[in-house]
Amino acid sequence: MSKVLYEKDIQKEVLQGKKIAVVGYGSQGHAHALNLRESGYDVVVGLRPGKSQQKAEEDGFQVVSVADAVSQSEVVMVLLPDELQTAVYNESIKPNLQAGNAIAFAHGFNVHFSQIVPPEDVDVFLVAPKGPGHLVRRTYEEGAGVPALYGVYQDVTGQARELALAYAQGIGAARAGVLETSFQEETETDLFGEQAVLCGGVTSLIKAGFETLTEAGYQPEVAYFECLHEMKLIVDLLYEGGLENMRYSISDTAQWGDFVSGPRVIDENTKARMKDILTDVQTGQFAKGWILENQANRPQFNAINAKENQHPIEKVGRELRELMPFVKQPLQNKNKQQK
């Protein structure tokens, strides 16, 4: 466990007195900016005019154009949507970076897949929280943090690693643990994890379970509670204490069913397909498809998104959650259909 670093292992001085530009004020951006400020750092927010600008100003930040934020700062954290980073980088960030500055990312996608090629005279690092931005903020406020990976792509000042660590500490990640990685490892594991397990894997598992029950004639409400609502309660137990803790809490009947039926759902064939997904990530095949999809204004993304929102589990879920107001979180902006 010696590789995981905590607050006591990190020097804050290297980042103190440096101005930090947080570019973007969405899920990650608002969390980084607020946490860094409360950790005592000097933050300016770089944005185009719009909803995020209003929110950042309401939170008391000085908001300027991306170009101005970069010009004013020594450290630039790029928290724009991955698919827009290259254009904004070329137009507003690159021309305003100075030798010896640092440019940073929360995901290695654009650097690793050569969409952004940073100049040779700046430090390049990543600090990638392993959790959604809203939790990066909420846990910080609670005195805790979300763990993060950090990595150095380019070190011209000799301080890039220390800068990355101080930054990770500033957003609260070192309270939970900070682990060194490379841009390659972060990018490939992040893409694989969200596709095969966390997002793609889980939504497909939930839908398949719901469809199996409703197609067999069971009530959609019952299927919703069983396959979606209860997922959170099970995941909380996993988060708190791993598989053993979850299995301790469920009935032995459920645990026996877990042992005999789990491997029938996720078997060697599933794993072989996971390997294919990983290969597509590693070869850049996935990245290429996503980059081209954006260049074409997202025809497939939008079509699939519209269809998914009409799935019966979404309809019954909306009705049931209306009656459970305590469950409902404010829907965090998004509007991802329009680029």
CA distances from 335 to 28, 140, 331, 332 (A): 16, 26, 10, 9
Element housing 222 (H / E): helix 220-224
Binding residue for Mg ion, selected from 27, 110, 154, 159, defined by CB under 5 A? 27
Neighbours of 152 (CB within 10 A): 20
Selection from ligand NAD, Mg ion, none that 145 binds (CB < 5 to 8 A by kind) is none
Binding mask 191-210 for Mg ion (x = CB under 5 A): ---x----------------
**Of 222, 169, 135, 183, nearest to 41 (Cα)?**
169
Site residues for ligand NAD, 18-57, by CB under 6 A, read 24-29, 47-48, 50, 52
Q: How many residues bind ligand NAD (CB under 6 A)?
A: 23
What amino acid occupies position 315?
K
- Was 54 annotated as part of a binding site? no
Binding residue for ligand NAD, selected from 22, 96, 116, 129, defined by CB under 6 A? 129
Phi, psi of 234 (to 5 degrees): -70, -45
- Tell me which of 107, 134, 229, 311 is the catalytic residue: 107
Least separation in angstroms between residue 59's CB and ligand NAD is 12
Nearest residue (CB) to Mg ion, 74 versus 190: 190
Confirm whether 229 is a catalytic residue: no
**Of 199, 249, 207, nearest to 224 (Cα)?**
207
What does the radius of gyration of the chain's CA atoms come to, in whole angstroms?
A: 22
Residue with tokens 């800068």: 163
Annotated binding-site residues for NADP(+) read 25-28, 48, 52, 133
Residues lying near ligand NAD in the complex (CB under 6 A) are found at: 24-29, 47-48, 50, 52, 66, 79-82, 84, 88, 106-107, 128-129, 132-133
Residues lying near Mg ion in the complex (CB under 5 A) are found at: 27, 190, 194
